[in-house]
Amino acid sequence: MTQDVNIHKDGRVGHISLNRPKALHALTLDMCHAMSAALTEWEHDDDVEAIILDHAEGRGFCAGGDIAFLRNSALNDGGVSGRKFFHDEYQLNHQLFTYPKPIVAFMDGITMGGGVGIALPAKFRVATENTRFAMPETGIGLFPDVGGGWYLSRLGGRLGQFLALTGARLDGAECLWTGIATHYVPSEMIDELKARIIERPGRIAGILSEPVGTPPDARIEGNALRIAKHFASDDYEEILASLENEIETDENGNAEWAAKERDTLGTKSPQTCKVALRQLATSEQMIDFAENMRMEYRIASRVLTRPDFAEGVRAVIVDKTNDPQWDPPTPEGVSEELLDSIFAPLPDDEEWKPLA
């Protein structure tokens, strides 16, 4: 058992608290295994009615996965240990998604990457004024995995495509407006809500729905029409052209917004932007979450060892120079053949499988 997750029972509630504050509770393989083992045990424990998922201290709920570990794998073991991490992390994501007992995830703080993968499967997803939600993977040559294809493709209004490509951050009110969160509460109320859930785990919906004040306005709502217009295509070049055209012909005061988003996309990996668009388009047609995770594991297995991932992590996280040299360097250089190879099935004995 790892010290990085606090796992215990409070009455009839199983309680999982991420406890790696110096890393903003980013997930390690040991943490994934510990959470998975607890969930398996509680699934068959009649004394456990519901699960609370939160973080022990600090300003992050969960900032993602162990990026340094993954980069080290890409550079030094051909991606073997990195693929193992993805495989087992995705098993946890799927276990949470299919879990038969209600889970309440308190997204009180930074909720990104791997944190999204454990929060969004929960039946109840509680945001606060501290919530900062993002899937920023295209900025480091990765893609919105951990089930991101499933969740983002189902947001509507092309919001998912916008979030996947730009890595835009949403606050708690925006998470509620988009449907990423099911509830919004002031952070000062969280301890009281947890205590009431522990006292009456059969009444979670009622407890979270009692009046807690009006959330702030969702800023993203003001840009919803722009997002739906400019991110309408599954063709990356068409999205870029739409933004460029707005800048050149602006008559509605949209040029500033379009220029900002164009410039943001200019910092992202062209390869993984195209991967993300195909991922979301494919996932939207799927009816089985396990099928989605199988697809994302195929992508992860390939993208992990392609040049952009190690280079993106170097530029953004290790050296902090923010000057990644992408390969291919332009969207036009990312061919359909390259994308086909990234999405292709793996050998049967290497395909992702849910927990037995």
pLDDT at 341: 98
Separation of alpha carbons 23 and 27, rounded Å: 9
pLDDT at 139: 96
pTM of the model: 0.96
Separation of alpha carbons 131 and 187, rounded Å: 9
Residues facing residue 80 across a β-bridge:
none
Phi, psi of 317 (to 5 degrees): -110, -45
Q: Is residue 164 a contact partner of residue 280, using CB atoms and an 8 Å limit?
A: yes
Q: Is residue 180 a contact partner of residue 120, using CB atoms and an 8 Å limit?
A: yes
Task: Kindly report the number of other CB atoms within 10 A of residue 289's CB atom.
Answer: 18
Catalytic residue ranges: 65, 114, 137, 145
Task: Kindly report the number of other CB atoms within 10 A of residue 266's CB atom.
Answer: 9
pLDDT at 212: 72
Separation of alpha carbons 164 and 243, rounded Å: 16
User: Looking at domain 1-356, does it have CATH number 3.90.226.10?
Assistant: yes
Phi, psi of 298 (to 5 degrees): -60, -45
Q: Is residue 167 a contact partner of residue 140, using CB atoms and an 8 Å limit?
A: no
Q: Is residue 308 a contact partner of residue 324, using CB atoms and an 8 Å limit?
A: yes
Q: CA geometry: angle at 133 spanning 31 and 51, to 5°?
A: 45
Element (H, E) at 38: helix 29-43
Please, what's the b/e burial string for 82-113 (b: 16 or more CB within 10 A of its CB; e: otherwise)?
bbebbbbbbbbbbbbbebebbbbbbbbbbbbb
Element (H, E) at 123: none
Cα 272 to the center of its chain, rounded Å: 15
pLDDT at 211: 67
Smallest CA-to-CA distance from 279 within 253, 303, 250 is with 303
Contacts of 249 (CB under 8 A, 6+ apart): none
Phi, psi of 281 (to 5 degrees): -65, -40
Domain definitions of the chain by residue range: 1-356
Question: pLDDT tens string for the chain (356 positions)?
Answer: 579 999 999 999 999 999 999 999 999 999 999 999 999 999 999 999 999 999 998 788 999 988 889 999 999 999 999 999 999 999 999 999 999 999 999 999 999 999 999 999 999 999 999 999 999 999 999 999 999 999 999 999 999 999 999 999 999 999 999 999 999 999 999 999 999 999 999 999 999 988 677 889 999 999 999 999 999 999 999 999 999 999 988 777 768 999 999 999 999 999 999 999 999 999 999 999 999 999 999 999 999 999 999 999 999 999 999 999 999 999 999 999 999 999 999 999 999 999 98
pLDDT at 107: 97
pLDDT at 1: 59
Residues facing residue 125 across a β-bridge:
105
